[in-house]
Amino acid sequence: MESTNTKSVKVGELDFPPRKVWMKTYGCQMNYHDSERIVSHLSNLNFTLTDEKTEADLVIFNTCAVRDLANQKFYSALGETKHIRENPVIDPETGLKKDVIIAAGGCIAQTEGKDLVKKYKQLDFAFGTDVIDNIGEMVYRAYAGEKKFTVTTWDKSDNYSIETKITPGTPMAFVNIIKGCDKFCSYCIVPFTRGREKSRRLHEVVTDVRRLVEYSGIQEVTLLGQNVNSFGKDNGESLAMLIQELDQINGLQRLRYTTSHPYDVTDELVAIHGSAKKLVNHLHLPVQSGSNTVLQRMLREYTIEHYLTLLAKMRKANPEIIITTDMIAGFPNETEEEHHATMDLLDKAQFDFIYGYTYSPRKGTKATRINDVLTDDIRLRRLKEIQDKQMKIQASLRGEMIGKTYRVLVEDKNISKGVMKWSGRTSCHRLVHFEGDIPDKNYQWHWVDVEITSVTALSTQGKLITDFGKILP
């Protein structure tokens, strides 16, 4: 590839003038991370990201198949792009019709890519989850005139080796350490859309993170995977070993990981929560249900007793740790008794936050074969009961924050009731809002200490105590 450093970039036979890509991402952090990776690859073809769809030369949807709502939103947004073909956008500089390319990637594209391209005339190509790093080649093909193609192949190599791509300017980075999932929970589409588990090698991840810290100013890293606890299984390595190594990197301030499966949380990992200084005071450990019989039907491989023992061990290893979870209300044929077991679990587990959903069937998963008698009304009512109870627990847990001081990495600002407030996350992942002490001062990406002054179940307010600037002393 030849780069001219002027307006156009020559790649193969084609000139790529500066162009804009607009992306819409649905679903989990893996998808958001994939989108960041896509944008980074596309910069080699002279694309920059735009927030304005009307400015775009290339429109990409990065889809999610896990929840029905995300599915529906994607289909409706894709449907709306029809007008780009019917009423083409005019390029403001040339006054000519813009030839907008439209693509769909991610989990829905992995399983339904060919059908999507066939059904939606405006869709130029679709690509799956394992070919993200080939996006440049696909966009090249589209600009070379090839239309209506689908790339959903799996990477068959034994190794999973990548270098993390980030958007410059933030001190936070997501680092993929494992892809795919071998668990096959009965309700989950992920093993079909993301393939089997494959880990990066420990030394490669350590080198990658060290590079991000030393050369890109990264201070907070989130290790990503569908099931990060399986990291390194086939290589005699483990997540605990990786955390231990990363904990030694000077300049790295915080280390997070997500998502975990309770079955694979080892004693070694529990212990590292007590000893690794950079590992945050937060663990997201999806439980999905408080009923053992539902967990069996979900093929989750653990019992509630095992789960609660894990929480106790984690809290013993790190008394500051905060636990959040995922919960599915109304799994097929869930009885009132099983639902009450979930309600009881809320009391026992004392979660700091729950990502709660009603069950929605995903085509091809085992749970869809159950002859389900539950209605959507029952599911919604149960979800509301779970959420109402959780709000009370959450408000009480967060009440304990009042008067204490927390270290916060400032991410954003917003105006609330006419007052400009900054917000950021504590080590335990709680979002804290505070007013700056100097008007017009930009606190974004500063480390600050904030004393908590008031809380509700969903919002935490505080006052600024110390501003350390962008680098901690």
Distance CA 217, CA 449 (A): 21
Which of 93-101, 182-190, 212-220, 392-400 is the region at the interface with ligand SF4 (rule: CB under 6 A)? Answer: 182-190
Closer to ligand SF4 by CB, 78 or 239: give it: 239
Distance CA 401, CA 407 (A): 12
Closer to ligand SF4 by CB, 184 or 355: give it: 184
Nearest to 286 by CA among 385, 400, 187, 409: 187
Q: How far is CA 110 from CA 40, 61, 107, 141, 270, in A?
A: 21, 12, 5, 19, 35
Count residues binding ligand SF4 (CB under 6 A).
10
190 is an interface residue for ligand SF4 by CB under 6 A: yes
184 is an interface residue for ligand SF4 by CB under 6 A: yes
Angle, CA of 113, 114 and 116, to the nearest 5°: 65
Nearest distance, CB of residue 294 and ligand SF4, angstroms: 14
Among 113, 128, 191, 195, binds ligand SF4 (CB under 6 A): 191
Nearest distance, CB of residue 188 and ligand SF4, angstroms: 3
30 is an interface residue for ligand SF4 by CB under 6 A: no
185 is an interface residue for ligand SF4 by CB under 6 A: yes
CB 45 within 8 A of CB 11: yes
Nearest distance, CB of residue 261 and ligand SF4, angstroms: 5
Which of 159-167, 176-184, 243-251, 414-422 is the region at the interface with ligand SF4 (rule: CB under 6 A)? Answer: 176-184
Output the CA torsion sign for 204, 206, 212, 218.
positive
- The token pair at 339 is 């639902």
Among 188, 224, 255, 285, binds ligand SF4 (CB under 6 A): 188
Among 150, 164, 219, 226, binds ligand SF4 (CB under 6 A): 226
183 is an interface residue for ligand SF4 by CB under 6 A: yes
State the DSSP string of 117-176: HHH-TT--EEE-TT-GGGHHHHHHHHHTT--SEEE------S---------TT-SEEEEE
Nearest distance, CB of residue 181 and ligand SF4, angstroms: 3
Among 58, 181, 218, 450, binds ligand SF4 (CB under 6 A): 181
135 is an interface residue for ligand SF4 by CB under 6 A: no
Distance CA 303, CA 45 (A): 50
Among 261, 284, 398, 430, binds ligand SF4 (CB under 6 A): 261
Nearest to 283 by CA among 299, 302, 259, 266: 259
Distance CA 367, CA 63 (A): 22
Which parts of this chain interact with ligand SF4 (CB under 6 A)?
181, 183-185, 188, 190-191, 226-227, 261
